[in-house]
Amino acid sequence: MKRLSSAVVTIAFVDIRDNVVAVRERIVAACKRAERSSGDVQLMAVSKTQPTSAIREAYEAGVTVFGENRVQEFAGKLGEIAELRIEWHLIGPLQSNKAAKAVELFEWVDTVDSLKLAERLNRLAGEQGKTLDVLVEINVGAEEQKAGLHPQSQELRDLLAGAERLEALQIRGLMCIPPMTDNPEESRPYFRKLRALRDDLAAAKFPRVELDELSMGMTHDFEVAVEEGSTCVRVGTGIFGART
Ligand SMILES: *Cc1c(COP(=O)(O)O)cnc(C)c1O
C-alpha cells in the first residue's frame, strides 16, 4: 500500500501535445510583441533523456526539429524512430572520438566551439560525402566553465575566415547558452549581445559564411529570446516535463 501511494505521487501526467500547442502560442505572442513573423522562429524539442515514445508524441504534435545532447544516447534511440522525418541537431558538447558518429547521425551540429573541431567535422563530413550544417557556439557570458568561443576572440574570426576552405561544412549562425538565472529578463542582455555580435560578424562578410540563425532561448527564457531575435528556441522541459 505504501509503495503504491508513493508511486502515484511521483508519476505526473504530462500532455506533450498540449505543451507543444502552449509553447507555440507563446512564441506567436512574443513574435507579435516584437513585430516579427512567427514563421521566422523554429521550435526545437530538446529530447535528451526522453524515451522515443515521447519523441513520437512531440512529432505527432507537429514538431520536426529536435535536439539531443549526447551522441551515444541518441544512437541508442534513433533505430526506433528512424522513419520519422526529423531534422536532428546535436546541441551538447562533442568529444573528438564521437565526432564521426555525430556527423553520421545528425544533420546539424550546433555546438562548434573551436577551429579544430570545425576542421575535424569538415574532414569527416567530406569522407562521408555529406554537408553538415553547423552553428558556432558563443560563450556569451564569458563564463569560466562554459563551452563556446569568446565573443571577442581571434579564434572566432579565424574560424569564420576558415569557412572558405571547410567545404563540407555550412556555417549557418550562432548559438548561446547564457548564464543560468531564474529571471528570464536577466537573459535579455545576453541575447542582445549575441544578436549584435552576429550583426558585426555578418558585416565583415566572411566568404561562405551564413549567419541567419540565432539559436537562443530555453524553457525559462524563450519568449525573451524571441523578442531579441532568436530564430530557434530549444525547449525541453516545457514540452516533455521535468527530466528524471
Ligand atoms: C537541455 C538543453 C536545453 C533545454 O532545456 P530546458 O530548460 O529543459 O528547456 C536547451 N539547450 C541546451 C543546449 C540544452 O542542453
Distance 161 CA to ligand 1 centre (A): 29
Give the model confidence (pLDDT) of 196-223 as tens digits: 999 999 999 999 999 999 999 999 999 9
Instruction: Kindly indicate the confidence band of residue 10, based on its pLDDT and cuts at 50, 70 and 90.
Output: low
Q: What is the tens place of the pLDDT at every residue in 60-114?
A: 999 999 999 999 999 999 999 999 999 999 999 999 999 999 999 999 999 999 9
Which residue, judged by its Cα, is nearest atom 6 of ligand 1? 236
112 SS3 class = strand
Grid coordinates representing 34? 516584437
Secondary element (H or E) of residue 75: helix 71-78
Contact call for residues 55 and 76 (beta carbons, < 8 A):
no
pLDDT at 2 over 50: no
Q: What is the pLDDT of residues 136-152, one digit of tens each?
A: 999 999 999 999 999 99
Look at ligand 1, atom 4, and give the residue with the nearest C-alpha. 236
As a whole number of angstroms, the distance between CA 95 and CA 78 comes to: 20
Q: Given a cut of 70, is residue 11 above it in pLDDT? A: no
Minimal-distance CA residue to ligand 1 atom 13: 91
C-beta of 49 in contact with ligand 1 (< 6 A): no
pLDDT surpassing 80 at residue 1: no
User: 3 C-alpha to center of ligand 1: Å?
Assistant: 32
Query: In degrees rounded to 5, what are phi and psi of residue 211?
Result: -125, 40
**What average pLDDT does the structure give for the chain?**
95
pTM: 0.94
